Every structure is written in structure tokens, then in C-alpha cells.
Structure 1
């Protein structure tokens, strides 16, 4: 992944993870694996885990510890009402920005 892609991804990764959690609950490694399957091969697990800690602290997710077949219990994250509201704001902002960028790309019309 190039530097420009990495920088853009930093600004949108929270919204991407919230969108994943809007579809279904997941634990950190599942989220990382899904992102890699979607072509974000360079995303480090540590980046996703740090983001999950932040969105948990901000109250966007509910966390349930579930037993794991291998090792300690896993933290499974579920998007809650506050997280859904934040995700809706993310999509509104994304729409605004992408429309303006597309206008610039087409020559400013």
C-alpha cells in the first residue's frame, strides 16, 4: 500500500470498522482478516486493536467476552446505538466529501 493510501485509510478506518460491526458482531482478528480479504493487506492487527480500544472508550460498541478454543476469552464487539449514530454521521460526511471530490475530478462543475 502506498503512503497516500495509508494516510487516507487512517482517516476512514474508524468508519470502515463501524460499518463492519453494523453488519455483524466480530472480534479483532475477524475484522483484520476481513479487511485483508478486501485488499487492505498491509493493515496490522495492532492498528485494528488500537482502534477497537478507542471506539470502546468512546462508547460506540458493546463488548462481550466469549470463551476461546485457544487461549483467553475473546472480546466480541457489537455496534450500539451511539455507534450507529456515529456511523450515520460518518456516511453523511463521506457522501459530502466524495461528491465534492468527484466534482473536482470532473473539472469543478
Structure 2
């Protein structure tokens, strides 16, 4: 049975989404809803917020992100997420691994089928 595009995309997201979150936090702290907006922008990386908050909690428990509560003028206090030094190292390791992996996949997809 051939996997459908939704299944393929789901599998790709599962492996890369946490590193996309870490990459978004590299430039500074961010509120969960703001992270969700960026990741939902084109519907490729994430389709809804339902997967983001468990992922953020997992990243926090792993020590890759830390959180702070900040007052909000628009309602209750908000939890902001920031990259930890361990998260920075994990992101750097992913980037070093991702580039050759991506290049190998691209090369394989461009290879002509044998006759």
C-alpha cells in the first residue's frame, strides 16, 4: 500500500517540528500562540495548535526550553518560552545533521529511475 500525502507529511512533521520550534526560539522568547501562528502559516509544518502545547511541554521537561510567566494587557498572564543552552546545542546538532540528510534526499529524488 502506498502512503498518502497526509501520512507522509505527518511522518515528516513528527521528526522535524520540535526543531522548528527550537529554531523559532533562537531569536528570543515567544508566546505559545505566536509560535503556533508562525508554524500554522502555510499549513505544512503544523495544522492546528493541538500538537504544539504537548510538544512545548515535552521540550520543557527535556530541558531544551524554559518558561516564564508574563503579565498581559489583553487578559491573564501568558507563558513565554525561551531556548536553553541545551536547546541551542540540540538545534545546532539538528542543523548539522539536517543539511546532509536533506541533500541526500534531494539527490535521491532527482536520480532518474533505472531503465
> With structure 2 as the length reference, what TM-score do the two structures score?
0.82
1-structure distance, mates of 2:76, 2:54: 18
Corresponding residue number in structure 1 for 2:10: 6
Question: Which residue, 100, 103, 107 being the options, matches 2:107?
Answer: 103
Are the equivalent residues in 1 in contact too, given 2:40–2:48 (CA < 8 A)? no
**Considering only aligned residues, what root-mean-square deviation do their CA atoms show, in Å?**
1.9
> With structure 1 as the length reference, what TM-score do the two structures score?
0.86
Structure 1 unaligned runs (5+)?
none
The secondary structure found in structure 2 opposite 1:59 is: coil
Give per-residue Cα distances to partners, 1:49-96, cap 9 Å, x unaligned: 111000000101121100123443211011121100000011112112
Structure 2 unaligned runs (5+)?
none
Rg larger for: 2
1-structure distance, mates of 2:62, 2:75: 27
Corresponding residue number in structure 1 for 2:43: 40
Q: Aligned pairs, how many? A: 107
Residue 87 in structure 1 maps to residue 91 in structure 2: yes
